[in-house]
Structures are given as structure tokens and as C-alpha cells.
Chain A
Amino acid sequence: MRIAPAELCLPVKAFLGHVRSLVGEVDALFLPRIVCRRARKELLFGCPKALALPDLVRALFPSLPQVVELNLDERLESEARAFGRAAKTLGCGPAAGRRAYQRARTSYRQLAPDGMMACSPSLAWTAVVAPGHGRPVRIRVVGHPYVLYDRTLSLGLLDKLGQIGAEPAVVHGAGGWPADAARPEFLPNWVHEVPLIHGALNPAGREPYDGVLLASSFACGTSAVTNEIIRHAVGARWPSLPILTLMLDEHTAEAGLLTRIESFVELIRLRGRR
């Protein structure tokens, strides 16, 4: 927090703190840069902050170990070639780089067959819903996985929801829009936002939910657009579905967070959605 400009979002501040703790402890820093990915015919871009992380690190840290950048820009080259370049920076030849890339892809497919954004949240976090509250209130939680599944950054939001008798469902989706989904007005071409919008609006094959919780970092620019799209679509399709927006930053207090989610869950119970 002390290193970073105030206007950066919470995850980037955490990232910079992490870099600071690693400088002096490691020989090389691996810094990926997701510029652009192809998804069928569409180009999906990374968030501007994430896109500039290596440059940000170079500006803030006067001395760094070797920086190994992975620039994933599928407008210019394939993922394989991008990894090959990163491997070359580490002194690996093309054959060794290719083998390492193939092994990484195999491990990734075993962990997340449909891609990381579509994989089960149970890989990162296990829901424990406290008994004694009757049927759990089902809350569709929308937020970036790198915040939601980090107990420090999210202040244990998902655990807290379980403790008050709510069942949080974090869903990241992909693909089309079935008939019972809410349709977004438009889809922004951001790699990390499209799955959130799909997950928030698409109940197909899943249990119906009682409320939506939008958990964003303060100063997250992409969330400002995404949350508005979700609010608009949910309001049009399910006008009486309650929506709560939470802003998370380094000043967020646990008490304040708990008050808000308790009130939200209580409101839903009182409205007879149990």
C-alpha cells in the first residue's frame, strides 16, 4: 500500500507487496502480461492494469532480479510461441521450452478441463454453511477469483456468508445464452469480465438463486462497466431480485462488511425467499 499509487486497485497493491517481499530473495521474477486472447472469433483483452504490471514493477523497484516476461498477445503470436520466448529468457533452448509448455498444458487440462475461469470454485475454497438458519439463502457472488478466493483480500467474504446461513455460489461461465438467462445489453471484450457476466446472468442447469452480490475492488475500472451491465440485465429479467454491491479496498473493515451482508441476507429471508 505504501509503495503503490493510491488509485490502483487492491489486487495490484497486493501484487506489488508480494513483489517487494520477493526482491532480494529470488534470482528471477516471472511476470505474465495477458494482452489479448482469442475466443473463437472474438479478441478478448486483459485489464489495463494487469497489462502493464511488468512496466509498473520496473518503475517502482529500483533494483530487480532478472524479470522473465510472458507477453500473451494472440493478435501477434500463438500462446506456444509466447511461452517459447519466455523460456528463451531463462536460457532454455526451443526443444526444452516446448517440452515445458506441453507439460504445463497437460497439468492445466487435468486441473481445469474447461479452462480456469470455468473450473469449480471448490478447487480453491470449500463452502461451509452454518446450520440452524433453515433453507440456506442462495447468493450468486460475482467477483474476480483472485480477490474472492483470497481470504485476506476478501476479508473471508465467502466464509462469512456461510457463517450467517447463506450459500454463496461463485459461477464463472462461458458459451451461449439459454432461454432462461438474462441477456446482457452488450459484452465487453475483457478476458476476466466475460465469464463473470455469463456466471451472473445464466442460471441454466443450476439451482435458482435468491440474490446477487457484486464484490469488486475499489478503483476496479472494468467492474464499473461489468456491474452496471449485470445490474441492468438482472433488473430487466428479474426485477425483484435483490442486488448488493460491495467495494473492497485496504480500508474495508470486517465489521462493516459483516453488517452489510447480514442485512442483505436478512432482507432476503424477510421477503420470504426462503
Chain B
Amino acid sequence: MRVAFPYMGNIRFAVGAIMRTLGAEVVVPGPPNRTVLEVGARLSPELMCIPFKLTLGNMVRALDMGADTLVYAGGSWSCRFGYFGRLQAMILRRLGYRFRVLEVRRDQLPVVFREALGLADGRLSRALLRGGRALRLAWYKSRAVDAAEALAREAAPFAAEPGEPYRMLNRVLALVDKTETPAGLKQVHRDLRQTFGRIPRNGRTWVPRVKLVGESFCVVEPFVNFNVIRKLGEMGVFADPFLTAHRWVGFHGLRLWRDELKNVRRASASYWRYCVGGEDQNSLGHLILAARKGYDGVVHVHPFGCMPSAVAQPTMAKACRDFDIPLLSLSLDEHSSETGVMTRLEAFVSLLHRRQMLKERTAAAAR
């Protein structure tokens, strides 16, 4: 079985580890690029969102590389995300590709289990052992990646050489990719602080702190958001995403951190009654919690045409007015340009610095 799954940021470390340990051969089509996006956009219904278009382009590439099984997360609820797998399969089969689809959704779990059993030659004990090993390895890989990403984000605004933290991150990710034992990954994790601590600093004492919220794919996949976290870091801003690849797998795959979820939903309850999808409630809740913690601004990234994001935008704007925190909203599709995004980010960062300056002047005058 040669499996491929949608490319979304660094989830490939955890998901790839699970598939390989269960016995499948994993086809990773490589990070997305302009060509992949154009192929996906051409084959997709025009008003589907950019996560659909980009992952469709990736799946075409994976099938061309020899994948015979496509794995998707799915479900049936208000947002379209749950139907991505079925819709993409319909489009790809119409193009003439032959493959199987494995959808990880509630009513398909017996099918997924049977496939895992098939990979273990029908032996239940072998399947269960592999399953346990798969989850354990995936967890340590994902945790190490998450810790490295966090350290790169923290170091970026303070680095003397702006690109160095992310070059360091790439080296660490390559090491995590090669390391196939939990013990090895624990060692990589332990060494991270020392690794990133060696990056020379620029002497800054204060940097603006910005919370990044929005639809999960746009927050987690750097190609779609034009590497907004890295760009803000290189502009001297600490950008803190509410969601990372590891947290996405934890929240949605393994249903972890339920207390945090309750807390976030309680924070957003007076503004947003129901979760409609697209991380609407979570984004709003994290925005409010960030405002309460004294963050200096919020950047909201979402796909053009994303139904939950479109309808949540006025509510986010209201919450930002109520909490007096600046909001930059970026709507992303295949026509978005890096220059346009950079212009907006630069103006936003300039606004944050100005607000800080006015705050300091007011405080000095009060003294």
C-alpha cells in the first residue's frame, strides 16, 4: 500500500510516522508550490477554498508519484472540510486516476481498522502492537517538531541574523525526520534549548506580541499564509499561532486538551454561540484570551470563500474593538500576492510600534 495524505505544514512528521509504522509505504509529494496550487485551482470548483485547491494539487502530484491509497480526515458537519476527501476523489477519478480512499471519520473507523489489520497480515496482536508503536513514535516526533517551531518563533524577533532561527529549525526538522526511535527523539528534544540558545541576539528588550488566529490550514501551512510567522519574526514581532501541526493532531486527531478547549469556548461564548467549523470559536476565544494577556495585536488569516470565517469576521472585529486590540484580517486565495501581504504586515507592524510609543508617552506623562 503506497499511501498519501494532504500536505499541511508539519503534520507529515506525525502522520507519516503512523503510516510507516503500521506497514504502509508513505508517498510525500513535497512542500507545495505555485505549480501545485495552479493545478489544484484549475481542477477545483471555483468557489472552493484554498485548502481544498492546494491539497487537490498535492494529491495529483502524489498519484503521479505512484500513490495508490489516499488518506483523508473527514466527517459530516456544517463546514465543507468534512467532504474534501469525497469531493477530491470524485474529481480525481473523473481525470482517470485509479486509487482507493481511506477516510478517517466516525462511520469509517471499522474500514480503517481493517486496513491496518491487513497491513499486519491479518494478525490482530501484530496490528495492535504496531498501532501502539505508531502512536508513540508519532507523538515524540510531533512534540519535538512543535518544540523546535516554538523556539524558532521565540528567537526570531531577537536574532542578530534575521533568518538564522528558521535555518536552525530546518536543520532540526531534517534530524527529526531521520530519527526513528522515541529515545532518539527525546534526546533531540532535550538538546533543543541549547541549540537555539546559541543563536546570537540583537539586544532588543521589547517586541510586539501578535496572536495569529484563523482557519487551521491557513495558520499551519506556511505556503498558504506566505510564511507570515517567519516574516513577522524577521520584522521584529513575536507571532504566536493559536494552532500548530502538533496541536491540530492533538485536538482533532487524539481529542486532547479538552480543558483548554472548554476555556477557549467559554471565553468566546458571549460573542459566538455555535461552532460552525473553520476554527471559528477557537480563533475568537484565543483572540479574547490574548487580548486579556496583553498581546499587542491579532492577525486573522482565512481562505477566501471560507463560510465560517466570512461570517465570523464582523464578530472578531467587534471583539477587537471591545478589547481595544488591533486586528489585521488577511483573506487568502490563489490570486493573493506576497507583495500585498507584506504591505499589509508592514503597515500593521508600524501601527503596533506607534501604539506602544503612545502608551509609553502616556505613562511617562502620568508619572
Q: Chain A residues in contact with chain B, CB under 8 A?
A: 4-5, 7-8, 12, 33, 35, 43, 45-49, 51-52, 54-56, 58-60, 71, 73, 185-186, 188-190, 218-225, 227-229, 232
The listed residue with most A CB atoms (<10 A of its CB), out of B48, B94, B311, is: B311
User: Would you call B45 and A45 a contact (CB within 8 A)?
Assistant: no
In the complex where A52-B274, A56-B315 touch, is A221 in contact with B307 (Cβ < 8 A)? Answer: yes
Residue of A nearest to B89 (CB): A185
CA distance A49 to B80 in the complex (A): 12
Known: A45-B78, A48-B78, A232-B94. A5 touches B274 (CB 8 A): no
Closest chain-A Cβ to B58's Cβ sits at a distance in Å of 19
Residue contact B272 to A189, C-beta cutoff 8 Å: no
Known: A33-B274, A221-B47, A227-B45. 12 other contacts (CB 8 A): A7-B331, A12-B311, A45-B77, A45-B78, A52-B312, A55-B274, A218-B47, A221-B306, A225-B83, A228-B87, A228-B90, A229-B87
CA distance A223 to B46 in the complex (A): 11
Partner of A55, one of B87, B271, B307: B271
Contact in complex: A5, B77 (CB < 8 Å): no
Q: Can you identify 15 A-B contacts, CB atoms within 8 angstroms? A: A48-B311, A52-B272, A52-B312, A55-B274, A58-B271, A71-B274, A185-B86, A186-B83, A190-B78, A221-B306, A222-B80, A222-B307, A224-B45, A225-B83, A229-B90
Question: What residues of chain B have their CB less than 8 Å away from a CB belonging to chain A?
Answer: 45-49, 76-80, 83, 86-87, 90-91, 94, 271-274, 276-278, 280, 304-315, 317-318, 331
Contacts A52-B308, A219-B305 known; A224 to B47 CB distance under 8 Å? Answer: yes
Partner of A220 from the list B47, B278, B318 (CB cut-off 8 Å) is B47
Instruction: Give complex CA distance A185, B276 in Å.
Output: 24
In the complex, how many angstroms separate the beta carbon of A127 from the nearest chain B beta carbon? 29
B196 → A minimal CB distance (Å): 39
> How many Å lie between the Cα of A43 and that of B280 in the bound state?
21
Determine which of B49, B271, B309 lies in contact with A59 in the assembled complex, contact meaning CB atoms within 8 Å: B271
Give the nearest-CB partner of B312 in chain A: A52
Chain B neighbourhood of A33, CB < 8 A: 273-274
A-B complex: 10 closest residue pairs judged by Cβ atoms = A48-B276, A189-B76, A7-B310, A48-B307, A221-B307, A59-B314, A224-B47, A59-B315, A59-B318, A45-B78
Contacts of B272 in A (CB 8 A): 52, 55
A220 to B310, CA, bound (A): 11
Pairwise interchain contact B307-A49, C-beta atoms closer than 8 A: yes
Q: Are A47 and B315 in contact (CB under 8 A)?
A: no
Residue numbers in A under 8 Å from B276 (CB-CB): 48, 51-52
Partner of A51, one of B83, B274, B331: B274
> How distant is A93 from chain B, measured CB to nearest CB, in Å?
25
Task: Please indicate which of the listed interface residues A46, A51, A220, A228 has the most CB atoms of chain B within 10 Å of its own CB.
Answer: A51
Closest beta carbon of chain B to A95's beta carbon, Å: 28
**A52 with B80, Cβ < 8 A, contacts A186-B86, A225-B87 known:** no
A8 touching B90 in the complex, CB below 8 Å, given contacts A46-B78, A54-B273? no
**B76 x A5 contact (CB < 8 A):** no
Write the chain A residue with the least CB distance to B48.
Answer: A224
User: How far apart are B97's CB and chain A's nearest CB, in angstroms?
Assistant: 15
A8 to B307, CA, bound (A): 8
Question: Chain B residues near A227 (CB, 8 Å)?
Answer: 45
Nearest chain B CB to A212's CB is how many angstroms away? Answer: 16
Taking A48-B276, A52-B274 as contacts, is the C-beta distance between A8 and B310 under 8 angstroms? yes
Query: For the complex, what is the distance from the CA of A33 to the CA of B276, rounded to whole Å?
Result: 12
Q: Which chain A residues border B307 with CB–CB below 8 Å? A: 47-49, 221-222
Chain B CB count within 10 A is highest, among A52, A54, A223, A228, for A52
A8–B311 CB distance below 8 A:
yes
* B271 contacts across to A, CB distance below 8 A: 55, 58-59
| Cα(A45)–Cα(B276), bound, Å | 10
CB distance from B253 to the nearest CB of A (A): 21
Given contacts A43-B76, A186-B83, contact A52 B45 (CB under 8 A): no
Q: For residue B318, which residues in chain A have a CB less than 8 angstroms away from its CB?
A: 58-59
Q: Given that A59-B315, A186-B83 are known contacts, is A48 also in contact with B304, CB under 8 Å in the complex?
A: no
CA distance A183 to B314 in the complex (A): 39
Q: How far is the CB of A268 from chain B (nearest CB, A)?
A: 24
Q: Is the CB of A49 within 8 A of B86?
A: no
CA distance A4 to B308 in the complex (A): 14
How far apart are A220's CB and chain B's nearest CB, in angstroms? 7
Q: Which residues of A contact B314 (CB under 8 A)?
A: 4-5, 56, 59-60
**Nearest CB of B to A260, in Å:** 16
Identify the closest chain B residue to A219 (Cβ).
B305
B80 touches A221 (CB 8 A): yes
> Which residue of chain A has its CB nearest to the CB of B313?
A5
B87: A residues at CB distance < 8 A: 225, 228-229
Min CB gap A41→B, angstroms: 11
**Residues on B with beta carbons closer than 8 Å to the beta carbon of A8:** 310-311
Partner of A228, one of B45, B76, B273, B311: B45
Minimal beta-carbon separation of A215 from chain B (angstroms): 14
Q: B274 and A219: CB pair below 8 A?
A: no
Evaluate whether A7 and B76 lie within 8 angstroms (CB atoms) in the complex, with A59-B318, A60-B314, A228-B90 already known: no
- Assuming the contacts A5-B313, A188-B83, asked whether A45 and B76 have C-beta atoms less than 8 A apart, the reply is yes
B45 / chain A contacts, CB cutoff of 8 Å:
224-225, 227-228
**Bound-state Cα–Cα, A73 to B311, Å:** 19
Bound Cα distance from A220 to B48, whole angstroms: 9
Q: Given the complex, which residues of A lie within 8 Å of B315, measured CB to CB? A: 52, 55-56, 58-59
Residues of B near A35 (CB, < 8 A) are: 274
A4 to B83, CA, bound (A): 27
Q: Check if A223 sits within 8 Å of B47, measured CB to CB.
A: yes
Question: Smallest CB-CB separation from B308: which chain A residue?
Answer: A48
Question: Measured between C-beta atoms, what is the minimum distance from A86 to chain B in Å?
Answer: 14
A47 near B78 with CB under 8 A, answer yes
